[in-house]
């Protein structure tokens, strides 16, 4: 599975025209998954709070670092992309700001969970924060849009700079799927270690050593 | 569509002056993902060791 | 409910540090800022509002710090739980008391300074109203942040819930532009008022769930 | 009449079992002494009885929903920046406060009633907290280590007051590592645990 996903990630690079736009194959998928991971966490949080599913909390805890990582990659690749195209590595554009806030939220969730000795309490409070956070994301997106139209009406839109040509679209599509599988396998790995560490007193844990 | 966009290896590295940006992004991005895989695997091993120790002592 | 309002306002008014501190910080920042830059070089009036916004954020951060922490530390929360069975009323009355005793004076100070720095006298009421509303929103959000981490001090929880406060700040910035340019003010105020009502009704629920988890 | 009864209470924290399948009940006018070493879960059991902590398994039954319980835990819920009188006024209305004043006199605290609670000694603060508990005229009193920090006279006084309450038909549940002079049932957590 690993080798396959990596192959998919690398292959499209060669098939495309263009120069620095090649970053798009890392940038766009990672930003997409930055939000998808959060929504996944929010669903888990709901499950944990409403039905008291323990596993959901474990999944949130192991998904949060991955979300933070992928958001960081998205931000980082975007800002490096900005150097040759915009001439600046950072701009207080609507999308960038809201993605940065997303990144901060991931970090906040992680620090919050880390600060409790009673892990069940930590699970519940973290889920509350995640759910409140998911309400916040659309609000942030909208309000930042209003705000930035006031400040810089001619701000560069990230999506507008992509010309949709099939030779670019297909590899992009494939790389989105590829990154998706990569993240899922990473998620499975890290949640496996986390679940084991939380349930290490149970008898079944011994079988999975 | 599946033709290479570049003539030789140097051009791939250079990418019309933008090579530094492109390759550094990919290098750092992919190494971050790769490192997180390594960390996840290491964690599993650590937990397994703990479980074994616990069961051995009790 | 009335008992709790009375209790909380009595407690807060006896804690000099808790309610006077934020007011002093607000005044200090607003005075110190014009002193620290060369006024002749910059047009202070243009961005004095953003100073007010930032100091509003800071003061509500300071004001809500320890909102629940003290009651958690000395066990009053447990006692309250035995009487009321949940914290909705407690949280609601705490927020009301904090907004009345700290929020309104802060809003007044902010409005006073903004009007001393080049805002037309006619819009004093507008600014005052705006600052009260944003105080209400911020207090609700920071109270939530406080409740998340009462066992480790307010700092951590508020930091992790700080992104929640950003829409308020953005909204506030927009409202202030509309005061300066004189259009669309009433719709923003209406939006903030609606948000304030929703938050004040919803937040105590969420906060009391968080507090319940803490004493569990 | 049974005020509170526990059925098959199990509690575990971070997957470690603290106690397993505890069942007991407290009638009005009856005392229950919960015994056990450090970390055996005495305080947790009290909090489960109060409904603050949710047990992992099992049920707590009360005779009625609005059973009047007063509780004193490790934390004494006293505001340092208020005087003893103000502390009591926070909780009581004008009628109840008179009873509380009498308790202040009985516990020999009248001479410090207008000083800040922060300047009181640990034992005096404990007494103040006990006054809050006793003056609520509860139907069930729950105390966590009530004798810690009290001198001999105060402890004797407390014994006496608690016995008085018991004879008036008030239920009493408390933890203590010393054996009190009150006649009551004993629940030993460590014995049950094994």
Task: Using the predicted structure, report yes or no on whether residue B31 has a pLDDT greater than 60.
Answer: yes
Over range A70-98, report the average pLDDT. Answer: 79
Q: List the subunits that have 3+ CB pairs under 8 angstroms with A.
A: B, C, D
Q: Rounded to whole angstroms, how far apart are CA atoms B39 and D130?
A: 54
How many angstroms separate the CA atoms of D179 and D194, rounded? 21
pLDDT for C101-114, tens place per residue? 899 999 988 888 87
Which is it for strands D185-188 and D31-35: parallel, antiparallel or unpaired?
parallel
Pick the closest to residue A185 from A72, A99, A77, A62 (CA basis).
A62
Residue-wise pLDDT for C71-97, tens only, equals 888 888 888 888 888 889 899 999 999
For the domain made up of D1-68+140-146+172-193, the CATH class stated in words is alpha beta
Per-residue model confidence as pLDDT tens digits over C123-169: 788 888 888 999 999 999 999 888 888 877 667 778 777 888 888 88
Whether D193 shows a pLDDT value over 50: the answer reads no
Chain D, 67 to 96: residues with Cβ < 8 Å from chain C are 69-71, 73-82, 86, 90
Contacts within 8 Å (CB) and 24+ apart, A171-174? A171/A11, A171/A12, A171/A13, A171/A15, A171/A16, A171/A25, A172/A12, A172/A24, A172/A25, A172/A28, A172/A29, A174/A8, A174/A11, A174/A12
Under 8 Å CB-to-CB from A163, ≥6 apart: which residues? none
pLDDT tens-digit readout, D16-51: 777 778 888 888 888 888 887 787 788 888 888 888
Supply the DSSP symbol for D116: -
Q: Taking CB atoms and an 8 Å cutoff, what residues of chain A touch C167?
A: 136, 139-140, 143
Please, which pLDDT band fits residue A71 given cuts at 50, 70 and 90? very high
pLDDT at C51: 83
Q: Do D15 and A118 touch (CB under 8 A)?
A: no
Answer whether D14 touches A (CB < 8 Å): yes
**pLDDT at residue number C9:** 83
Sort C91 into a burial class: Cβ within 10 Å, 0-12 / 13-18 / 19+.
Answer: buried
Contact D14 A202 (CB under 8 A): no
The Cα C68–Cα D173 span in angstroms is 28
**The two three-digit tokens of residue C34, written as one number:** 């014009």
Tokens of D185: 């049932």
The highest-confidence range among A4-13, A75-84, D122-131, by mean pLDDT, is D122-131
Structural domains counted in chain C: 1
Chains with 3 or more CB pairs under 8 A to chain D: A, C
Question: Which residue in the set C151, C170, C177 is minimally distant from A143, CB to CB?
Answer: C170
Q: Where are the alpha helices (DSSP H) in C149-216?
A: 154-160, 162-181, 185-215
| Best CA proximity match to D125, nearest among D75, D179, D78, D191 | D78
With beta carbons under 8 A apart, name residues in chain C contacting D77: 74-76, 78-79
* Alpha carbon separation from C187 to A41, A58, A96, A101, C50 (Å, rounded): 34, 43, 27, 26, 21
Give me the count of residues in chain B.
Answer: 58
Residue C28: C-alpha distances to residues A189, C60, C64, C98, C111 (Å): 52, 14, 18, 20, 15
A54-86 helix and A94-114 helix, angle to the nearest 10 degrees = 140
Contacts of D194 (CB under 8 A, 6+ apart): none
- Asked whether the predicted pLDDT for residue D14 surpasses 70, the reply is no
Q: What 3-state DSSP class applies to D124? A: helix
Q: What is the C-alpha separation between C110 and C131, in angstroms, rounded? A: 7
Q: pLDDT category, B14, cuts 50, 70, 90?
A: low
Q: How many angstroms separate the CA of residue D45 from the nearest CA in chain C?
A: 12
Residues near C206 by beta carbon (within 8 Å), at least 6 away in sequence? A128, A132, C144
> DSSP assignment of C63-89, as one string?
HHTTTTHHHHHTTHHHHHHHHHSSSHH
Binned at pLDDT 50, 70 and 90, residue D64 comes out as confident
- Place A159 in a pLDDT band, splitting at 50, 70 and 90: very low
Question: Which burial class, exposed, middle or buried, applies to D111 when counting CB atoms under 10 A from its CB (0-12, 13-18, 19+)?
Answer: exposed
**CA distance linking residue C72 with residue A36, whole number of Å:** 37
Domain coverage including residue C66: 2-215
Q: Does the structure show a pLDDT above 50 at C204? A: yes
- How many angstroms separate the CA atoms of A101 and D152, rounded? 60
% of chain C surpassing 70 pLDDT: 91
Structure tokens at A153: 């009406």
Average pLDDT score over chain C? 83
Answer whether A120 sits within 8 Å of D16, measured CB to CB: no
Indicate the average pLDDT of chain A.
Answer: 75
Chain centre to alpha carbon of residue D95:
23
Could you tell me the pLDDT band of residue B1, with boundaries at 50, 70 and 90?
very low
**pLDDT at residue number A154:** 37
Cα separation, A59 vs A38, in Å, equals: 12
Q: What φ, ψ does residue B2 adopt, rounded to 5°? A: -100, 15
Q: Please, are residues D140 and D172 in contact by the beta-carbon 8 Å criterion?
A: yes
**pLDDT higher than threshold 80 for residue A204:** no
> Higher-confidence residue: A205 or C100?
C100
Predicted confidence at residue C148, as pLDDT, reads 85
Q: For residue D119, is pLDDT > 50?
A: yes
**Reported confidence tier of residue C197, pLDDT bands at 50, 70, 90:** very high
Chain A residues within 8 A of B36 when measuring between CB atoms:
65-66, 69, 186, 190
The residue ranking higher by pLDDT, C118 or D146, is: D146
Dihedral sign from CA coordinates of C208, C214, D4, D6:
positive
A161: pLDDT strictly greater than 50: no
Task: Choose the closest CB to C14 out of D71, D74, D82.
Answer: D82
CA distance C101 to C5: 12
pLDDT for residue A151 is more than 60: no
In this predicted structure, what is the pLDDT of residue A150?
47
Helix (H) or strand (E) holding D31: strand D31-35
Q: How many CA atoms lie within 13 Å of A167's alpha carbon, on the beta-carbon side?
A: 13
Q: Residue A111 in contact with residue C145, Cβ under 8 Å?
A: no
Rounded mean pLDDT, D108-121 = 82
What are φ and ψ of residue D36, in 5° steps? Answer: 160, 160
**Rounded distance between C-alpha atoms, residue A125 and residue C211, angstroms:** 9
CA distance D92 to A130: 40
What does DSSP say about strands D140-144 and D69-72: parallel, antiparallel, or unpaired? parallel
Q: Return the closest-CA partner of residue A190 out of B40, D155, D63, C147.
A: B40
pTM of model > 0.90: no
Kindly tell me whether chain B and chain C come into contact, counting contact as 3+ Cβ pairs under 8 Å: no
Give the chain B residue nearest A24 (alpha carbons).
B22
pLDDT over threshold 90, residue D108: no
- When mean pLDDT is compared across A127-131, C36-40, D37-41, D52-56, the lowest value belongs to C36-40
Reported as a pLDDT band with limits 50, 70 and 90, residue A14 is very low
Tell me, what's the pLDDT at A68? 93
Give tens-digit pLDDT for D162-177.
888 888 888 888 888 7
Structure tokens at A110: 């992680």
The answer on pLDDT for A137 being more than 60 is yes
**Cβ distance C126 to C113 under 8 Å?**
no
User: What pLDDT shows up at residue C39?
Assistant: 65
Return the SS3 of D17. Answer: strand
Q: What is the pLDDT of residue B16?
A: 57
Token pair for D27: 């009638």
Record the tokens describing residue A43, joined without a space. 């669903």
- pLDDT at residue A21, rounded to an integer: 62
Pairing of strands D2-13, D57-62: antiparallel
Task: Tell me the average pLDDT across A136-164.
Answer: 57
- Two tokens, residue C47: 């961005």
Give C68's contacts in chain A (Cβ within 8 Å): none
Beta strand pairing status for D16-27 and D2-13? Answer: antiparallel
Looking at per-residue pLDDT, the higher value among D121 and D13 belongs to D121
Helix (H, G, I), strand (E, B) or coil at A93: coil
Cα C95 off chain centre by: 9
Which pLDDT belongs to residue A160? 44
pLDDT (0 to 100) of residue C154: 66
Percent of chain C with pLDDT over 90: 11
Q: How many Cα atoms are found within 13 Å in the side-chain-facing hemisphere of D65?
A: 2
How far apart CA A80 and CA D11 sit, in angstroms, is: 53
**In the block, residue with structure tokens 């084991």:** A196
Phi, psi of A21 (to 5 degrees): -65, -15
Q: Is C120 helix (H, G, I), strand (E, B) or coil?
A: coil
Q: What is the pLDDT of residue A43?
A: 92
DSSP string for residues in D48-92: HHHTSSPPSEEEEEESSTT--EEEE-SS----TTS-HHHHHHHH-
CA distance A44 to A54: 10
Q: How many CB atoms lie within 10 A of CB A203?
A: 8
């Amino acid at each position: 599975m690993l080798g396959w996903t990596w192959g998919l990630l690398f292959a499209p690079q060669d098939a495309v025209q263009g120069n620095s736009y090649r970053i798009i194959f890392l940038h766009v998928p990672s930003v997409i998954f930055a939000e998808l991971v959060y929504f996944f966490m929010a669903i888990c949080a709901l499950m944990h709070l409403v039905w008291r599913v323990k596993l959901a909390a474990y999944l949130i805890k192991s998904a949060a670092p991955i979300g933070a990582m992928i958001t960081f990659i998205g931000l980082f690749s975007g800002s490096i992309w900005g150097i040759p195209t915009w001439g600046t590595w950072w701009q207080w554009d609507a999308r960038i700001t809201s993605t940065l806030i997303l990144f901060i939220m991931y970090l906040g969730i992680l620090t919050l969970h880390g600060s409790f000795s009673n892990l069940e309490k930590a699970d519940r409070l973290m889920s509350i924060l995640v759910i409140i956070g998911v309400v916040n994301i659309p609000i942030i997106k909208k309000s930042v849009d209003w705000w930035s139209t006031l400040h810089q009406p001619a701000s560069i839109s990230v999506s507008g700079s992509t010309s949709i040509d099939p030779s670019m679209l297909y590899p992009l599509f494939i790389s989105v799927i590829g990154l998706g599988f990569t993240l899922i396998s990473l998620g499975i790995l890290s949640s496996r270690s986390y679940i084991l560490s939380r349930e290490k007193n149970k008898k079944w844990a011994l079988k999975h050593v | 569509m599946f033709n290479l966009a570049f003539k030789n290896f140097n051009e791939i590295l250079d990418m019309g002056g933008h090579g530094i940006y492109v390759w550094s992004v990919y290098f750092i991005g992919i190494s971050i993902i790769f490192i997180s895989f390594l960390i996840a695997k290491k964690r599993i091993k650590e937990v397994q060791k703990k479980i074994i120790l616990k069961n051995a002592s009790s | 409910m009335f008992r709790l309002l009375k209790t909380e306002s009595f407690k807060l008014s006896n804690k000099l540090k808790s309610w006077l501190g934020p007011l002093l910080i607000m005044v200090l920042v607003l005075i110190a800022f014009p002193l620290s830059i060369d006024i002749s070089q910059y047009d202070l009036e243009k961005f004095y509002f953003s100073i007010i916004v930032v100091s509003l954020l800071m003061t509500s951060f300071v004001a809500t710090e320890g909102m629940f922490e003290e009651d958690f530390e000395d066990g009053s929360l447990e006692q309250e739980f035995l009487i009321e069975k949940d914290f909705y009323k407690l949280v609601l009355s705490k927020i009301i008391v904090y907004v009345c005793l700290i929020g309104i004076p802060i809003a007044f100070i902010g409005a006073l300074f903004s009007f001393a720095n080049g805002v037309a006298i006619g819009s004093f009421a507008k600014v005052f109203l705006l600052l009260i509303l944003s105080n209400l929103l911020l207090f609700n959000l920071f109270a939530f942040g406080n409740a998340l981490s009462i066992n480790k001090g307010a700092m951590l929880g508020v930091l992790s819930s700080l992104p929640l406060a950003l829409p308020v700040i953005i909204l506030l910035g927009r409202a202030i532009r509309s005061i300066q340019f004189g259009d669309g003010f009433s719709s923003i105020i209406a939006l903030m008022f609606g948000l304030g009502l929703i938050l004040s009704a919803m937040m105590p629920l969420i906060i009391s769930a968080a507090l319940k988890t803490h004493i569990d | 009449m049974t005020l509170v009864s526990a059925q098959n209470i199990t509690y575990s924290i971070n997957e470690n079992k603290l106690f397993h399948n505890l069942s007991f009940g407290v009638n009005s006018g009856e005392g229950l002494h919960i015994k056990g070493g450090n970390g055996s879960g005495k305080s947790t059991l009290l909090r489960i009885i109060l409904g603050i902590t949710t047990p992992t398994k099992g049920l707590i039954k009360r005779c009625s929903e609005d059973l009047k319980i007063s509780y004193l835990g490790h934390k004494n819920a006293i505001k340092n920046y208020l005087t003893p009188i103000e502390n009591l006024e926070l909780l009581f209305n004008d009628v109840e406060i008179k009873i509380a004043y009498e308790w202040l006199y009985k516990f020999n605290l009248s001479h410090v009633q207008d000083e800040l609670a922060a300047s009181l000694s640990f034992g005096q603060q404990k007494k103040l907290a006990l006054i809050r508990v006793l003056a609520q005229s509860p139907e069930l009193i729950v105390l966590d280590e009530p004798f810690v920090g009290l001198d001999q006279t105060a402890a004797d006084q407390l014994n006496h007051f608690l016995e008085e309450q018991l004879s008036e038909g008030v239920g009493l549940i408390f933890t203590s590592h010393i054996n009190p002079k009150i006649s009551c049932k004993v629940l030993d957590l460590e014995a049950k645990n094994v």
